[in-house]
Every structure is written in C-alpha cells, then in structure tokens.
Structure 1
C-alpha cells in the first residue's frame, strides 16, 4: 500500500553464454507486414534500430510497478530526478537519453566479444521496467518514491532459481536491478532499498568526485533536506549504516578539495581512493587489481557509476564535468576487468542529455558501459550460485 501511495501521488546460466554463440533473430511487431519476396523467406520483419519505442537495448518493456506477476532476473528501472544537483541540472532526462543511446547494442545480435558472452541471449530474463514516477517539487518525498519503487522491483522473486537460497540477509535469491539516473543523490534511496534486503553493502564507486562531503562543507545545511544532495549522499549513507565499512572504493577521482580533511572524512565513510591519474603509473590492470583486492570476490557488491568518470571529451553531457578523466575505452576495459565480482545491483547517474553533442556521445557511452555491467552480471550466473559456491557465508 505504501508503494502504491507514493507512486499514485507522483507528479504526473552461464551455460547459454558459453555453450552456444548462435543468435536468435529479433522478431517484428506484426506478421502480416512481412512480405516474402524470395523463395524460402519467412518470419517477421523486426523494427529498425532507429524506429520503435526506446527501451534499454531494445529489450522487452513490462510495467513492473503496476504488475505484481512480472518476473525477471535483471531489471532496468529509471529514476528521473535532478533536484539534488549543485551545478548543471538536466539529469531527469538521463533515463530516456540512455535508452536512446542504447538502440544499437542489439544491432548485430548483442554478443560481447571481449567477455565472450551475450547478455541478450542467455539464461537471464532481462526486461525494462520503465521509470519510477518521481515528483520534482519535494525532494524528501521524491527520494522516498525512489526507495519504495526500487525496493518493489528488487524484493520480488526472480525468474530463475526463485526458490533457491541466495545472498540476501533473509537467505533468498533476488533479481538484480540496474537503475538509470538521475543525479547522484538517487544512490542514497537506492542504498536504503538495498539495505532492507542485503544489510550494509560494499560499494564500488566510479566518479570524479568523492561524494562523501560533510553537508556543512558542501553547500551548507540550512535544513536537513538541503544537506542531502549529489555531493553528500555517501556521508548520509555512512551515518545511516548502509555501507560495509573498509571494503568500499572510489575509482576515477580527480576533483579539487576544500582541504586534505576531505580525504580524512572519506576514510571515516569506509572508502579507499583510486585517483584518475594513477592510470598513468599503474595502468588499467593496476586499477582493476586495486578494486578487486578491496571489494573481494565473495561478498555482494553494489556498483555506482557517475558518467563524469569519463573525461568531458568523451562525455560532455554531465552535471559537474571535470577534465583529466578516463576515455570510454579505458573505463569499459576496467569494468570488464571486474569479472568475478558479485555485482548484485548497479546504477549509472548524472547523464544530462541537453549538454550532449548531436552525435549522442554521452548517452552512447553510458549505454555501452551498462552493457558491460549487464554482461558481467549474466556471466556470473544467478545469485543463487553465490551460495552454491559456498560464498557469502557470513550472511
């Protein structure tokens, strides 16, 4: 009932990935519109990638928030919120922009060559659940809507191994949820939702900024709600006990600071830091090793990716751009290097399409990065496998 109230009041396995590389053709919307012109032709004609309604990677859309009987293994959900940003607004259009940028992911069948897997043709049922309805007039209410909408998607039984034990704190197997933001404030309600099912969780945070600033340092805090924004949400997450201390890590950091005390506070929140410039000394392999050594391969991990991890040359359409970042190729390689990490959920944030080029550089980069994350999840197999392998015994 709580979820319905918030939504109604809104303002307006692995086997398939490895044993066969054969692709299924994308079928079209209406058989009678297909005309056989050559002997032996048959089937239906699919929409072109430039036509049709946009979903992530042109996967099937289901209204999950209004249908309790829809199941899935991986669900995409949008959180169109940007009233917690300190510089450029516009990330409320991020979910639609990322979906637009993802149209070509399935053009040639969706097979991920470097990871040797096809996330679109595997054991996993993957769907797009649309967007959580979010008010733009009341931040406190909007964050509650995001938490409840995400939890409603997260907490139902998955399509695969729904009756098998899993790594949640109740011992259940749950679906994975990938959230399309939205400014980075949305990670706080998402972590609150995750905490309800997993308890304190380990976070991999790709960003150019720390986002652990104390509210009195970042923008002041004339009210409690003003203290919650896209630069302070990890501070609040730490204060609320949502983070697994001493296993979290930032990657891609290169922002200016108010002083070295910002690093000290970051340590209190349980984070280690990988600077963007370290790629020049330890390389991509060194960065991958630091991340995996920090988070381990046994515990549930949440991945939060700010698109400003990329240099503005590759992703200009973001809320707070910082020069000196990684290239799209470097970021995708680093993410692929996280194979083996138990990613149970993820988000991508701060995509503001209004600042993009007409070639959609940023939205395509965001979509392609999520494609790598989705592939990692598929390759890892159902979350029940974590228990089958004797992992996450502490839960």
Structure 2
C-alpha cells in the first residue's frame, strides 16, 4: 500500500495557517499549490477583492511579477541550444545600444564621471544579473544614477515599463553602467534586457516566442503579458501598503488594469500573468530536467546549468539582503546552497514576485510549491505569509 506523499492532517494545518492571513486582513484571498511525487494539492482561500466580491478560484489569473524571470531565462536557453545565442558572446550584435559601455567610477559618482568598460556585456551576464546595472538598494534619490534611471523611465519596479522595447534600449544605452560587466550582481534589469535580446534573436515578439516554445508545449493556456477581455473576471485586485498611513490601497484593479491590454513593453523582468496550474506546468518541467511528458523542452544539462549557483562570495556579499548566507543565483533563479531552515534545501530553486507571489522547486524532495497572493511586498525580505507557506509545505511531508 502506497503512503501519501503529504499528510492530510498537516495539509489541513497549512490551510488553517494560510486562511489566518486572509482572515486577519493581510490580503483578500490567495491560492496555494503543493506537489510531490505526482500528488498535487491546490487550495483557493478567500475572495478576489476586499469588497467581498467573487470567491478566489483555482484558476484565478495572477500578476506573477518577478516569477517571470525563470521563464524568460528558460526561453533564452532554448535559443542557446539552437546555437542562435551563445552564453559568452557579446550582445552587441543584437543589442548595439549596449556596445562600448562606460562605467561609473563609484556608485555615488556624477553620471559623467566614468571609465570605459573593460569588456562587452554577454548573455551570461544578463542571465546572472552581472551586466553592470540594475536596482540600487537604497532610498530613491540617494545616488545620481538612481535619479537618471527614474527620469529615463528605467527604474525597476512592480509595473512594466511604458516604453517600446527599442526606446527602452536606447535610453538604457545612454546611461553608464554601475559596475564593470561581470563584477557585480544587481537585480532585475538583466531580465528586461534579456527579453529584448530573445525577441531580436528570434525575429518575433517575446510573447509569441514564449507561446510557441514554452506555453503551448506545456499547456500554459492562461499565461501571457496581459489578460484578454473574456478572462478579466478571473483577474483579482492587486493591493499595496499606503506609505502615508500604512493602510491597504488598491494597486491595480481589473476594471482599468494595465494588465488588461497588450503592453508597450513585454517585460522579461516582471510582465507575465499566470495561474497556479500554468506555473506548476513550467515548474514541473524544470524539476523533470527539461522534459514535459514525452516531449523535451530543454536538455538536462541546460536545466542543471540554469539551477547551479554562479555567484562568487564577493558578489553575494553585495546582495546579502537577497541571499543571506544560504542562497546564490543561477540563470534567472535563486538557488539554495545550504540548509539553514525547514524549506532551505541545497539545490532548491525558484523565485518570488514583488506583487505577492512565490514559486520554488526542490529536486531532493521532488516538490513544487507555489503561493499566489496579490499583496505587494514591502522589502526584498520575504513577508510572513511567504515564510508560513513554506514552513507549512515542508512540515506536511509525510515520509
């Protein structure tokens, strides 16, 4: 007689813990998914909005924000496997805007105080976020480069850019880098550049390439860069904390959502919407080393390369708020490197989304966990609801 991969009693405990976050007003509703050795459990709790509207559904479509990053990294590896892109080739051929870069002498230097880049930016730099520019983890306006990025419409944030890809790249090309290529890890911007690179290499819009090479083969029928009109009733409200008084405010609503129409910029860093079932299909493919049923999406070596830690201790030291002492970064995913908690298992990989989502795969346990809320994060450190979900998922393991 086979033993259940999760304890039903302990899954009930997880439901109660997660429902408590909804009952206390942290968010109007959420969806959880846990899977292990072919056993899948999905739980929809609460409602789509605080106003008591429709109940949360298993197929609710969420703005997954930075959980887009692993998907776009996988798409880049499809092109690497076809020899249409190469990891250590300069991106200048397809992204001439990034040729002949200059680099700030110091983080606090004026924009014009630069030196020449020591080498070109490569695809590997984009995938590992070591291209030399990205989110500056300091209060807005602390450094001149932050002001320059904000004025150019390039400041990383929860909402996709409002520029065309070509205009976005031209503006990025006019700014200096913050680090020499390959020397420093900086969050987010590499994935947006990667999305443009994929589109140009494939000769088609990013969404079409993702649809043809990932979404259709994986059966991800509700994933894309916007929600079609006929599906808008499945898009919940998105909420954030009001910085003035700490109250909860609407960040985006289905009636006038920026995700309710095709975007000007298909953000590889955070533009996708998806469902628990769709993201599980992608996560399961990655856990199965690139295979989906009888079909192979990526090779096993590609997935192993993507999910290895590519950062040096010095690069991690500069991003401690993201990695602490127990994580690193692969290609578009964080990778656990040391066990220091219930859910921190060496080899576990995935990422979180700044609008309140989290998804990781654990090869050692053959486990996928996905948490989907629509409550914007307030810092890079995981909120309590994330911590409780991952604790609850691992305590439910039955063997």
The TM-score normalised by the length of structure 1 is 0.25
The TM-score normalised by the length of structure 2 is 0.25
Bigger relative contact order (CA 8 A; separation at least 6)? 2
